[in-house]
Amino acid sequence: MTTTSKPQVSRRTLLKSAVTAGAALVVGFEVPQIAKADPAKAAVNPFRAWVRIDRAGQVTLISARSEMGQGISSALPMILAEELGVDWKDVRVEQALTDPTLYGDQGTGGSGSVAGSWTPLRQAGAAARVMLIGAAAERWKVSPADCTVRNGYVHHQSDKIAYGDLVESASKRPIPDLATVPLKSPRDFQIVGKPMPRKDIPLKTDGSAQFGIDVRLPGMLYAVVERCPVFGGKVKSFDATKAKALPGVRDVFEIPAVPEGVHSWGGVAVVANTTWIAMQARKQLRIDWDYGPHATESSESLRRQFRRIVDSPCKVVFNTGDADAAISGSPAEKKVEADYELPFQAHATMEPMNCTVHVKPDGAEVWAPAQGPDWVNGVVAQATGLTPDKVKVHTTYMGGGFGRRYQADFAVEAAQIGKKMTGTPVQLVWSREDDMTHDFYRPASYHRVSGAIDSQGNILAWKHRSTSTSIADWWDRKSPPESSELGCTLQMPYIAKNYKLEYLPAQSGVPRAWWRSVEASSIGFVMESYMDELAHAAGADPYEFRIAKLGDGRKIGNPLNPKDTALEADRMKGVLKLAASKAGWGSPLAAGQGRGIACHFSFNSYAANVAEVTVSQGAVKVNRIVSAVDIGIAVNPEGVRAQVESAIVYGLTAALKSQITIQDGRAVESNFNKFPTLAMNETPRLEVYIVPSEVAPTGIGEPGLPPVAPAVMNAIFAATGKRIRRLPVIPSDLV
Amino acid sequence: MPEITFLVNGKSTVVEVSGDTPLLWVLRDTLNLTGTKYGCGIAQCGACTVHIDGQVQRSCVYPVSAVAGKNVTTIEGLSENRTHPLQEAWIAEQVPQCGYCQSGQIMTAAGFLKSNQHPTPDDVDKAMSNNICRCGTAQRIRAAILRAAAAMNGAPGQGQSKATGGEL
């Protein structure tokens, strides 16, 4: 059960002893990012989350991370319980309120919740265990080394004392150095690595889980906002006479755009007694729009721009050897050149954007289904003119995140409306149409890859020139536009003698940002499709070709960001081998069927997929996907499997069915009738296998996605000889 | 505004709203029964599914005037304490991720199992393919419905739960 509260401990007391709160033992975790960035600040803000053990022995984990279906409400207690020596299901998880001074970055994303919590949670659990053992050993006058812990008790021979009875004396003991506190060996794990049920699931079977859109407060009103259909447009003037005349409408007013940092569009807000009345009144608005500078943009105009860009040399981002010379010196039959295209994609979370705000003269309370509640805190403070400490943000369950809920545009709109309605709680609800036509989309991109193989089947040259509607270009012009777009091309896993990367951004008014697996969703498709093309050009089996080109014992760092974790080619081979063996790679298939393989490294995790498809009469049916992942230790294997299944289906929808097209500067697809998703009867048999590991966990919310589209397209090629280079697949590509 | 009277989860309910208001918003905003979800507003996704006189209906396009005198069942009224075989199967198969679509999935499945007590996997696919789940839980939903059907038929041994490492 997730509840909201703040640890009952004053920061001053905490700083003195780091362990206090009278009746409770409280242990915090360090915030390494803050410590690194600013040692002085780290001394003021030593902790990001807390473990509290009270006199009744109740263990509470106050977590700054959000639950969006990725299963952290079980995975995090499992990690803590393992080191602390308690039953994991007795660990209560409380959702922390936002407080940047206490928790640092509270964002949930980048597949980082478990990976980022692993070491601090273990250290906190181990530190508390050491203190509890110390207190018990002192009472018994025995050596701590002779004591053990189990299920909330410290044991010594036949004696045992419950943690709750030790809390008072334990809390007076010095807190061990977290960096050197003894941690369990993975071989001794009793909880981590076992498939455990998710704590939030029962609440999601009877309608009782409260999502952001389910928040109900006494006297609450509902609001919708009419935004300009054209990206970047704004209100010139409006007439709300008819809208205001509808019974139940409480107010109609304009809210301004907040371009800086948030990219909210502004528009005309309608506040009413119910969501439905607000939606109906909105239809009665007469708005004269200034469509702005992007009103003629279309997917076709963008495509023309993309092709113009890649027809000429672009900025060289990375270069080793001389790929151009190697290609031009190769005979035609050894050269492969291919263009790949990917469209904008909407997140289309099942719960549309929404946010509830109650602004009072001296403070504001916010209920936000948000991946970045600390960001919400900041933007609400700014929009209401309050200081951040006067803004209390409750993070609710989220009906899907996938990166969309990392934004704060919906929160700033709610705050603007809430401020106008000061004293009355207001829930801002986006309609599905609002959500789909005002998303921050996965960038559209265009890639021209050329290369050559030599007579022994080695990759002689690989040159990847690409352009896209860069995320960095949109959000943060301080970073080069390519910084958000290149992904694993900067950690080329395969041995290529000459390798060159070129990039230039395209100009577009379409908002874009982080969509599940971000640039890896596009880069994975391009690299793994091209790798397949090279394998076929070399007359090699696509699986064997990959294994051979990964070499032995290779570690590939990121030349532009040397601090990035190196790609270990042997781990990539590990997932390829596991997926291929479980899928029966090489075994015969029926006529019209094909099998394809692909792998990718993202979020420091390794994933490989084998897809089996049937193609007939211009339709593709994916029958089976076998996936293997190496994510280090799988804390909750059942949660890991669920995340990979989810990433596969999300990736299949984007590969086979959905896209956002642009016409007249606006998104064409506005609801699920135009943005089809993979239905149950189209969902293949999904099998997920996990490579056993004893290294620290890495992310799994996203890494299963990038190898989906290329595995399927490679399977289509195996079945039909048709190479699909533009997503999503359309029937005419298959006949 | 007219008064409209109907049963919600067995309880007589009177609302005073415009008759063209979709049942969905009456449930959510007037009656605070928020288990029924808004997903698309055009009967495309199934998140708003309820039963009206035992029939599976999309409440986002069902005007409240048309439920006068009828019996509406929402996810909150499906069972006491999550004891419907589908709810138990949903937990055993660890179906939900974000969970937002699952009320509608369960209500769709509950209506389906009333009309087909011995479904094949293909029957399940056909019945459930108009419900959208962006977390990709379809495979687990299918397994959960088959598990629930077996349980309702008194079949012994439902197989292991997906989470075999411990109980909650």
- What is the mean pLDDT of the segment spanning B2-30? 97
Q: What is the phi/psi pair of residue A236, to 5°?
A: -90, -50
- For the domain made up of A2-204, the CATH class stated in words is alpha beta
User: Residue A246: in which H helix or E strand, if any?
Assistant: none
- A402–chain B Cβ distance below 8 A for any pair: yes
Confidence of residue A49 (pLDDT cuts 50, 70, 90): low
* pLDDT attached to residue A261: 85
Asked if B90 and A88 come within 8 Å (Cβ–Cβ), the reply is no
Q: What CA–CA distance (Å, rounded) separates A25 from A136?
A: 14
Question: Does CATH number 1.10.150.120 belong to domain B85-152?
Answer: yes
- A71–chain B Cβ distance below 8 A for any pair: yes
Domain chopping of chain A, boundaries: 2-204, 212-292+353-429, 299-345+440-733
- How far CA A691 is from CA of A65, A184, A259, A576, in Å, comes to 26, 21, 45, 10
Q: Is residue B137 pLDDT above 70, yes or no?
A: yes
Within 10 angstroms of residue B161's Cβ, the number of other Cβ atoms is 18
Asked if A648 and B91 come within 8 Å (Cβ–Cβ), the reply is no
User: Residue A537: in which H helix or E strand, if any?
Assistant: helix A520-537
Asked if A646 and B78 come within 8 Å (Cβ–Cβ), the reply is no
Confidence of residue B158 (pLDDT cuts 50, 70, 90): low
Within 10 angstroms of residue A581's Cβ, the number of other Cβ atoms is 14
Asked if B40 and A199 come within 8 Å (Cβ–Cβ), the reply is no
Condensed to tens digits (0 to 9), the pLDDT of residues B51-71 reads 999 999 999 999 999 999 999
* pLDDT attached to residue A112: 75
**Chain B closest CA to A199's CA: distance in Å?**
7
* pLDDT attached to residue B2: 85
Q: Is residue A20 pLDDT above 50, yes or no?
A: no
CATH number of B3-77: 3.10.20.30
* pLDDT attached to residue A40: 40
Q: Is residue A262 pLDDT above 70, yes or no?
A: yes
Looking at A5-147, list the stretches that DSSP marks H as alpha helix, in order from N- to C-terminal side. 11-17, 32-37, 39-44, 72-84, 100-103, 113-140
Nearest neighbour of A204 by CB, restricted to B25, B96, B126: B96
Structure tokens at A141: 């006058």
* pLDDT attached to residue A477: 75
Condensed to tens digits (0 to 9), the pLDDT of residues A291-330 reads 999 999 999 999 999 999 999 999 999 999 999 999 999 9
SS (H, E, C) B111-157: HHHHHCCCCCHHHHHHHHCCCCCCCCCHHHHHHHHHHHHHHHCCCCC
Q: Which of B29, B65, B106 best tests the A interface by mutation, with the highest count of A CBs <10 A?
A: B29
CA dihedral A208, A211, A217, A221 (to 10 degrees): -130
Which overall architecture, per CATH, does domain A299-345+440-733 show? Answer: 2-Layer Sandwich (3.30)
Q: Is residue A670 pLDDT above 90, yes or no?
A: yes
Query: Which chain A residues in 278-307 lie under 8 Å from chain B, judged by CB atoms?
Result: none
SS (H, E, C) A90-125: HEEEEEECCCHHHHCCCCCCCCCHHHHHHHHHHHHH
Q: Is residue A13 pLDDT above 70, yes or no?
A: no
Asked if B29 and A348 come within 8 Å (Cβ–Cβ), the reply is no
Q: What CA–CA distance (Å, rounded) separates A501 from A132?
A: 56
- A686–chain B Cβ distance below 8 A for any pair: yes
**Chain B closest CA to A121's CA: distance in Å?**
21
Please list every residue in chain A whose beta carbon sits closer than 8 Å to the beta carbon of residue B99. Answer: 69, 200-201, 203-204, 209, 211, 397, 399
Please list every residue in chain B whose beta carbon sits closer than 8 Å to the beta carbon of residue A681. Answer: 122, 125-126, 129
Nearest CA in chain A to B140: A642
**Chain B closest CA to A109's CA: distance in Å?**
14
Structure tokens at A64: 């700054």
Q: What is the mean pLDDT of chain B?
A: 96
- Residue keyed to tokens 């099942």: A350
**Chain B closest CA to A398's CA: distance in Å?**
6
Q: Is residue A179 pLDDT above 90, yes or no?
A: no
* pLDDT attached to residue A9: 31
Q: Which fold would CATH assign to domain A212-292+353-429?
A: Aldehyde Oxidoreductase; domain 4 (3.30.365)
Confidence of residue A35 (pLDDT cuts 50, 70, 90): very low
- Residue keyed to tokens 């608005």: A285
Please list every residue in chain B whose beta carbon sits closer than 8 Å to the beta carbon of residue A682. Answer: 129
Q: Which amino acid is at A664?
A: D
Distance of CA A731 to the CA centre of its chain: 31
Please list every residue in chain A whose beta carbon sits closer than 8 Å to the beta carbon of residue B60. Answer: none
Condensed to tens digits (0 to 9), the pLDDT of residues A488-537 reads 999 999 999 999 999 999 999 999 999 999 999 999 999 999 999 999 99
Q: Is residue A711 pLDDT above 50, yes or no?
A: yes
Q: What CA–CA distance (Å, rounded) separates A41 from A34?
A: 7
Domain chopping of chain B, boundaries: 3-77, 85-152
Q: What is the phi/psi pair of residue A549, to 5°?
A: -80, -10
DSSP A223: E
8 Å CB contact between A461 and A330: yes
Residues 6+ positions from B129 with CB-CB distance below 8 Å: A679, A680, A681, A682
Task: Report ipTM for this prediction.
Answer: 0.97
- What is the mean pLDDT of the segment spanning A669-683? 98
Per DSSP bridges, beta strands A496-505 and A159-162 are: unpaired
* pLDDT attached to residue A476: 74
